[in-house]
């Protein structure tokens, strides 16, 4: 992945819009010609009209809307175009050898286009324009007889194909290379994370053996000494953060620990391991009012490894107050409300469909955003309910890898080595952890570092000196 380059096109580039114009003109011309000569058989309509129109429209939309980050996805309509060309060849060429040669040439063109746009070969962009000559040669081959006789009508009927190829050619001149050093998505990545491709073999195989998240859960509990944390909380409240509490400290500490151990910001989806990078998605269940009959709702807060305790506090409080101080439901509540309108039998199918789309990384981004089952961490306060922490199960739907809870504060009397007796304050925490994202040694190192930060919570007032990035 270090040798991979990232190609993109800008929607501000005039060539990009000329490409889109060519693709639209190709679709319009194809529809007009089909209307003049009739659509013919249903199979011909699908293969010679609907398929190329869908391919050209998809090509233009991907380049315009997502060309800066995911230009490689234009390979999908290019393969559709190659399929259309192969089906068209079968209708005009009788010689099997020539037919197979054209099929091989079209597959070569689509494969090379895919490889180039994925950025696997530096300087390979130079070969993109010559490869367009392959489908162009096919168009000329189909019209060779008429062209030799001076009849331009067959060439006019090939206008939609010539416009389609012209669009691809124009876009090849608009392609640029992103600066080195910043990661950009490629094949196999998801909208909510990048795939880790250099994991040890055992880490890549284990998700196929331990399939569900609940059967792959490790349970961890710890008692955290919070004498320094209590002092820190009182200081932050004097500084004006009136609602600052233990939740903000524990969360800010978790975010800071991820700077050194970014592996805990991974997740599993489709039996593959992904990293969220610098996007730490924190989920939390809250009540609008502290009553047993008050409905629950879920908030999701996007944090960064560079966030300080103040940043965590303001982001979390903004999300909480937005839910508590408005009569409207949250996005999660609205989405759940829509699902309740679906009859039970069909709802079961809808949930199955959502799981399938999520498995292949095709779940729409707006659903990922409102889903409490997709995120980096679910952390809940049992202390606010006056009970000890619980082990909360991980969800098999979604990709949430860590679920933590902490209980109410408690005091413990301890005898030191010199025989003196001291009283200390603790808070108990319990975590359910997906063991497939990192191994036990990594988890142990993370929580040791987590405890060290809690002993010196004042470091959370400043951004971290260094933020480590996850492996490739």
How many whole angstroms separate alpha carbon 29 and alpha carbon 18? 16
Mean pLDDT of the chain: 86
- Structure-model confidence comparison of residues 39 and 313, the more confident one: 313
Q: State whether 157 and 200 are in the same domain.
A: no
In a domain, 137, yes or no: yes
Q: State whether 230 and 155 are in the same domain.
A: no
In a domain, 188, yes or no: no
Q: State whether 350 and 406 are in the same domain.
A: yes
In a domain, 182, yes or no: no
Q: State whether 156 and 260 are in the same domain.
A: no
Taking a C-beta distance cutoff of 8 angstroms, is the pair 460, 256 a contact? yes
Q: What is the pLDDT of residues 406-421, one digit of tens each?
A: 999 898 888 888 888 8
Taking a C-beta distance cutoff of 8 angstroms, is the pair 429, 408 a contact? no
In a domain, 152, yes or no: yes
pLDDT of 1 above 50? no
Averaged over 114-139, what is the pLDDT?
66
Q: What is the pLDDT of residues 153-195, one digit of tens each?
A: 656 677 888 889 889 888 988 988 888 767 788 888 998 999 9
Tally of structural domains, the chain: 2
Q: Which of 226, 252, 254, 380 is nearest to 313 (CA)?
A: 252
3-state SS, the chain, equals CCCCCCEECCCCCHHHHHHHHHHHHHHHHHHHHHHHHCCCCHHHHHHHHHHHHHHHHHHHHHHHHHCCCCHHHHHHHHHHHHHHHHHHHHHHCCCHHHHHHHHHHHHHHHHHHHHHHCCCCCCHHHHHHHHCHHHHHHHHHHCHHHHHCCCCHHHHHCHHHHHHHHHHHHHHHHCEECCCCCCCCCCCCECCEEECCCCCHHHHHHHHHCCCCHHHEEEEEEEEECHHHHHHHHHHHHCCCCCCCHHHHHHHHHHHHHCCCHHHHEEEECCEEEECCCCEEEEEEEECCCCCCCCEEEEEEEECCCCCHHHHHHHHHHHHHHHHCCCCCCHHHHHHHHHHCCCHHHHHHHHHHHHHHHHCCCCCHHHHHHCCCCCCEEEEECHHHCCCCCCCCCCCCCCCCEEEEEEEEEEEEEECCCCCEEEEEEEEEEEEEECCCCCHHHHHHHHHHHHHHHCCHHHHHCCCCCCCCCCC
Choose one of 148, 177, 206: the last residue of a domain: 177
Total-model pTM: 0.83
Q: What is the dihedral of CA 286, 288, 289, 294, to 10 degrees?
A: -90
The domain spanning residue 455 has which CATH number? 3.30.559.10
Q: State whether 264 and 310 are in the same domain.
A: yes
Q: State whether 172 and 63 are in the same domain.
A: yes
Q: What is the pLDDT of residues 27-85, one digit of tens each?
A: 999 888 876 665 556 777 888 889 999 999 999 999 999 999 899 999 999 999 999 98
Q: What pLDDT, on a 0 to 100 scale, did the predictor assign at position 343?
A: 87
Q: State whether 154 and 80 are in the same domain.
A: yes
CA 239 → CA 243, 265, 386, 398, 461, distances in Å?
A: 11, 31, 27, 39, 12
In a domain, 468, yes or no: no
Q: Tell me which residue range forms the domain holding 106.
A: 7-177
């Amino acid at each position: 992945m270090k040798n991979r380059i990232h190609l993109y096109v800008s929607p501000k580039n005039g060539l990009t819009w000329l490409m889109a114009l060519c693709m639209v003109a190709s679709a319009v011309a194809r529809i007009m010609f089909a209307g003049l000569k009739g659509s013919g058989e249903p199979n011909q309509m699908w293969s010679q009209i609907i398929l190329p129109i869908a391919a050209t429209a998809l090509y233009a939309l991907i380049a315009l809307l997502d060309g800066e980050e995911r230009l490689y996805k234009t390979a999908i309509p290019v393969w559709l175009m190659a399929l259309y060309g192969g089906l068209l060849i079968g209708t005009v060429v009788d010689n099997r050898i020539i037919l197979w040669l054209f099929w091989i040439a079209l597959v070569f063109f689509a494969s090379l286009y895919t490889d180039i746009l994925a950025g696997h070969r530096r300087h390979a962009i130079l070969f993109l324009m010559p490869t367009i000559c392959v489908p162009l040669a096919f168009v000329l081959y189909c019209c060779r007889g008429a062209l030799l006789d001076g009849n331009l009508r067959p060439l006019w009927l090939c206008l939609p194909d010539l416009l389609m190829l012209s669009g691809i050619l124009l876009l090849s001149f608009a392609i640029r290379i992103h600066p080195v050093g910043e990661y950009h998505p490629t094949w196999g990545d998801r909208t909510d994370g990048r795939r880790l491709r250099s994991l040890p073999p055992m880490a890549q195989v284990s998700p196929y053996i331990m399939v569900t998240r609940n059967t792959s859960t490790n349970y961890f509990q710890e008692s955290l000494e919070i004498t320094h944390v209590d002092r820190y909380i009182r200081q932050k409240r004097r500084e004006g953060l009136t609602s600052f509490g233990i939740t903000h400290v524990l969360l800010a500490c978790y975010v800071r620990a991820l700077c050194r151990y970014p592996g805990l910001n991974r997740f599993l989806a489709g039996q593959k391991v992904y990293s969220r990078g610098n996007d730490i998605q924190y989920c939390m269940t809250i009540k609008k009012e502290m009553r047993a009959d008050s409905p629950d709702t879920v908030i999701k807060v996007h944090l960064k490894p560079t966030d300080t305790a103040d940043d965590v506090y303001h982001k979390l409080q903004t999300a909480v107050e937005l839910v508590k101080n408005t009569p409207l439901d949250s996005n999660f509540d609205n989405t759940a409300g829509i699902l309740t309108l679906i009859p039970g039998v069909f709802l079961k199918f809808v949930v199955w469909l959502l799981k399938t789309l999520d498995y292949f990384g095709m779940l729409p981004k707006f659903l990922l955003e409102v889903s409490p089952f997709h995120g980096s961490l679910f952390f809940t306060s049992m202390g606010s309910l006056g009970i000890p922490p619980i082990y909360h199960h991980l969800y098999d739907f979604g990709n949430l890898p860590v679920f933590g809870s902490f209980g109410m504060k408690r005091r413990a009397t301890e005898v030191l080595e010199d025989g003196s007796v001291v009283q200390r304050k603790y808070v108990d925490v319990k975590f359910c952890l997906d063991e497939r994202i990192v191994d036990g040694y990594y988890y142990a190192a993370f929580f040791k570092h987590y405890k060290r930060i809690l002993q010196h919570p004042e470091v959370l007032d400043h951004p971290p000196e260094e933020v480590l990035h996850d492996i490739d």
